Chain A
Amino acid sequence: MLVVDDDDFNRMLLCKRVEQEGHRTATADNGREALEMLDDGSFDVVLLDVLMPELDGYETLERIEKDETLRHIPVIMISSLDEAESVIRCIELGAEDYLPKPFDPVLLRARLNASLTKKRLHDLELEYIEQVGHVVEAAAAVEAGTFDPATLDEVARRNDALGQLARVFGRMAEEVRAREQRLREEVHQLRIEIDEAHAERQVAELTETDYFRDLERKVDELRLRPETDS
């Protein structure tokens, strides 16, 4: 959890409450510092004060929401400003929720848990999309002849339909690879086996006829005439 508040006491109090709920915290004094920390680290929820020097909560929230890499992190606004107008503005800007100061620990817990659930669902969705991408890349690799079965190991460990797809795909790709390998090996052992005696008998049957002897005798004449005629 990233706790952002310019007031040392409020920040400390909030951190203590959040840590009592079993979460780890990091802190920032203002919006600018918070954005820098968000860029550098991985956070599940941001608890953001509204009124702060340098970069207030509204603008910080706006920048988070505009950033494709940060907008999925739930932001809970915390401020003594409990007017409806401020709440509406924060929700419109993309805040996940709003907690008035002094905060109610029960309400804080409920909203933290709701935000964390949403964040985890989002993370699972991202992971799913990423792993679907691995399967798609594996299909392209099979086409290109560069498929490495290990690239699907992580996806294949899933217990859902995608995991089953990855396992079946990996198995089939391996079967195709093994078959092609066998074919390659067979061609190296390519044996053109001919029953020469049988072939000779067939040649004799064909060439020891009157028709063939006649053809053989006339062949030069037959072959030359089209050329001379042309």
Chain B
Amino acid sequence: MTKIVSIHSFRGGTGKSNTAANIAMLLAAEGRRVAVVDTDIQSPGIHALFSLEQETMRCFLNDYLWGSCRIEEAAADVTPNGDITGQVWLVPSSIKPGDIARVMQQGYDVGLLNDGCRALIKELSLDVLILDTHPGLNEETLLSIAISNALAIVLRPDRQDYEGTRVTVSVARKLRVPRMVLVVNKTPAAFDADHVKERVEKTYDCEVAAVLPHSDELMVLSSEGIFALVHPEHALTGLYRHIAARLIA
């Protein structure tokens, strides 16, 4: 059964795209056919993690939403060489300033996003479709949550995230998301992960799939690769694997 998974956060800079990319790659490593759609049209970025050069792409998600192409034409196969037995595609959003400005000024029919996801699942015979959403709660992200079978809300242990996460959790419950987990990211090393998990779970009455520590290796890697591929045995990769398992369970 195909699963649609949204990776969301109320605030930017929480590590949402990194989480989405790592989960996608780990699910593909287990033999699944996975696609990631960068629905963060206003500030796209996940393509960099997959080392996808936008110059090589003829179509983007933007083109599909404006009716210029079919969504599968905007899907790039980003499966790395090596031990990945499944397959990974990425539907990137355009980083051209004109395209971003057009989205900001004219918007688009968000209903097309739902149609596009279904088409993509069918055309690529996907096992998992991951939506890397725009932070906050606008019509696109509400739709993403509404069509998802599972939702991961990424937050930092930071007071700026707490209230927004509360709002997101409440909204997601109203949309009856079948599975919802929290991912506490960029946690300082001095923090006790078990304690953070317990406090956050109690506050939101929601499962915390993982407390990810701040990682120097991840910072060094920056946006030039997918952590789980570079450090397959790292403890952080193990935590990403656990999040993936919880989302598709």
Contact = CB atoms under 8 A, between A and B. Distances in A.
Lowest 9 A-B CB distances belong to which pairs?
A230-B2, A183-B190, A187-B191, A199-B166, A203-B170, A192-B203, A180-B190, A202-B167, A219-B146
Interface residues of A, number: 32
B167 A219 contact: no
Nearest to A203: B170
B199 to A, nearest CB: 5
Interface in B146-184: 146-149, 157, 159, 162-163, 166-167, 170-171, 174-176, 178
A65 B194 CA distance: 61
B220 interface: no
Given A202-B163, A222-B147, 19 more contacts: A180-B190, A184-B191, A187-B191, A187-B192, A192-B162, A193-B162, A194-B162, A194-B163, A199-B166, A203-B170, A212-B142, A216-B146, A223-B147, A223-B178, A227-B1, A227-B2, A227-B149, A229-B118, A229-B121
Interface string B188-203: 1011100110011001
Nearest to B110: A211
Contact of A223 (B122, B142, B148, B200): B148
Interface string A214-230: 01101110110111011
A223 B196 contact: no
A188 B195 contact: yes
B174 A207 contact: yes
Contacts of A203: 167, 170-171, 174
Contacts of B196: 187, 190
Main secondary structure of the interface of B (DSSP, over half): helix
Given A183-B188, A226-B2, A226-B4, A194 B166 contact: yes
A114 interface: no
Nearest to B139: A211
B191 A183 contact: yes
B129 A215 contact: no
A215 B175 contact: yes
A192 B147 contact: no
Contacts of B163: 194-195, 198-199, 202
Interface residues of B, number: 40
A140 interface: no
B135 to A, nearest CB: 14
A121 interface: no
Contacts of B192: 184, 187-188
A206 interface: yes
Interface string B28-57: 000000000000000000000000000000
Contacts of B247: none
A72 B192 CA distance: 53
Contacts of A183: 188, 190-191
Nearest to B3: A227
Contacts of B147: 222-223, 226
Nearest to A211: B139
7 contacts: A194-B166, A199-B163, A199-B166, A203-B170, A219-B175, A227-B1, A230-B2
Contact of A184 (B117, B162, B190): B190
Name, among A207, A215, A225, A226, the residue most crowded by chain B CB atoms within 10 Å (CB to CB).
A226
